[in-house]
Amino acid sequence: MNRKHRDALNLLKTAKGQIEGVIRMIEEERYCIDISKQLLSLIALLRKTNEKVLKAHIETCVKEAVITGEVESKLEDLEEILGYLV
């Protein structure tokens, strides 16, 4: 596993813990603003994780596709992802 994927995996494990924490907060009927702050923190963490995964994709899969001349499908994949982000 490359470093960026390992980093992404660690971030996802952190996010899993945060989700469990938010679930407990809701079950305990904690203050809504406190729950919202935790959710926003979780969203930021997931965005950071996605960024690491996409960078790994560019640094590995896309670079390899450029070398092999099969870049068209990788560009289509990136265009699709950008559609979700915009």
Q: What is the pTM of this model?
A: 0.84
Write down the domain spans for the chain. 3-85
Distances (CA, A) of 47 to 8, 9, 10, 24, 69: 10, 13, 14, 23, 30
- Using a 10 angstrom Cβ sphere, with 0-12 exposed, 13-18 middle and 19 or more buried, the burial of residue 8 is buried
C-beta atoms surrounding 11 within 10 Å = 18
Q: Could you identify the residue written with the tokens 């996802």?
A: 12
Q: Which CATH architecture has domain 3-85?
A: Up-down Bundle (1.20)
Confidence of residue 4 (pLDDT cuts 50, 70, 90): confident
pLDDT tens, position by position, 34-56: 999 999 999 999 999 999 999 99
* 3-class DSSP state of 30: coil
